[in-house]
Amino acid sequence: MDKHFHLIQDTIREKRTELHINLPSWEEIPLEIFNIKSLKVLSITGGWAGTRGKKNKIPKEIAQLSNLEVLNLSKNQITEITSELFELEKLSQLYLEKNNISILPESISKLINLEILDLGENDITAIPRELGSIPNLASLNLK
């Protein structure tokens, strides 16, 4: 945990634009990450399993990362997409594959700069019609 804590602190201090973390043993995403206003790329993968039976949602604090262009939250057992995610106006790439997402909210269409959306290996049963209104969406993975 110290290694990740220091990485987060260094990223804040140095105003880095990218942060990549593999969290195999943490139960929750450290909220300090959402204080890094300079982030353009955030990748948190491979863990964040939480407690068995508990629904994992994308933290609402994600909306604080207003400069974010690329978000990768793959392999994290996420079950719900938080509505605050759709406030990220600059987001162009969203990777949520290998989670447990079953519902894709209609408000996904608010991500008007989205070019790549990867939702592969989830439990999605229906695709909202609004997905077709994202003007720059060039790549969509639902397999």
Tens digit of pLDDT for each residue in 79-127?
Answer: 999 999 999 999 999 999 999 999 999 999 999 999 999 999 999 999 9
* Among 113, 97, 105, residue whose Cα is nearest residue 130: 105
Which residues have C-beta within 8 Å of that of residue 43, sequence separation ≥ 6? 18, 19, 20, 21, 70, 71, 72, 95
Q: Is residue 55's pLDDT more than 70?
A: no
Q: What is the mean pLDDT of the chain?
A: 87
Q: Which single residue is written with the structure tokens 């990549």? A: 20
* Among 117, 80, 75, 115, residue whose Cα is nearest residue 95: 117
User: Structure pTM?
Assistant: 0.89
Amino acid letter for position 128: P
**In the prediction, which pLDDT does 3 show?**
62
